[in-house]
Amino acid sequence: MAVAKSKPTSPGRRHQTHLKRVTDDKKPEKSLTSGKKRISARNNNGRVTVRFRGGGHKRKFRLIDFKRNKDNIPAKVEAIEYDPNRTAHIALLVYADGERRYILAAAGLKSGDSVMSGDSAGINPGCTLPIRKIPLGTIIHNIELRPGKGGQMVRTAGASAQLVAKEGTMAQVKLTSGEVRRISVECRASIGTVSNFENNSVTLGKAGRKRWLGRMPHNRGVVMNPVDHPHGGGEGKSSGGRHPCTPWGQPTKGYKTRKKTKLSDKYIVSRRKK
């Protein structure tokens, strides 16, 4: 996939880039799509839980198979498709019994390729196996944290992890961030790197493209009034006058907000921050 630059016909197009289409020109599978309601970052009480979210283009939700639990049945890749709900591309599989499912497309996967999941699957891009069956040093993605729950880690475009060790019932996986984490060998993972690795190279070029994605303008605290933010107010241009904080006074930029829990700490062998 290549990054193409737009002609500078306007100030918004001058630095704009986009990815050349590599997906198949095909409408999404109707049986695997549903309507997607816009909630604009609001919870079940209707209150905003994440600021500066809303609007965006109308989308259809694609049902993705993260569990990959249809074992030992070969499937053929019918199409590689664009998914507006994620940065990675998705692949439409047609199993030997006629069932269709969407999966995250691995880099290098193309129409006509064969993939399979289960103990007897090969070490090929897009195949899914239990970690106990995957050789050391293999690049993997879509990794489960609990057996049978479905892939939860390493799912964004261009992401990958590496299987570095196996010790009894646990394996060690090195993530993109540099963190080394222990995972059960019964958990499943897919082979290869997630597709669309050049997604981070795209320059939006104008505010409108950000709005299409559902991102609204982010206004700083120092330009607000004191009633709206602790950094607000002051004569002339102000720098806040206190340590950086949220609108509700909680310190930020270095202040640790992660709840102390031993449930996940015990699985981290080496943190990304030394």
Model pLDDT, residue 274: 67
Neighbour count for residue 172 (Cβ, 10 Å): 18
CA proximity to 152, closest of 187, 106, 120: 187
List the domain boundaries for the chain: 3-200
- Is residue 188 within 8 A of residue 116, CB to CB? The reply is no
Q: Express as a percent the part of the chain with pLDDT over 90.
A: 89
DSSP-derived 3-state class of residue 108: coil
Cα–Cα distance, 149 to 69 (Å, whole number)? 10
How far, in whole angstroms, is CA 102 from its chain's centroid? 16
Model pLDDT, residue 188: 97
Q: Name which CATH class applies to 3-200.
A: mainly beta
The structure tokens 């261009």 sit at: 158
pLDDT of 125 above 90: yes
pLDDT of 218 above 70: yes
What pTM does this model have?
Answer: 0.90
pLDDT digits (tens, 9 = 90+) for 77-119: 999 999 999 999 999 999 999 999 999 999 999 999 999 999 9
Residue 114's alpha-carbon distances to 76, 93, 110, 164, in angstroms, are 5, 9, 9, 27
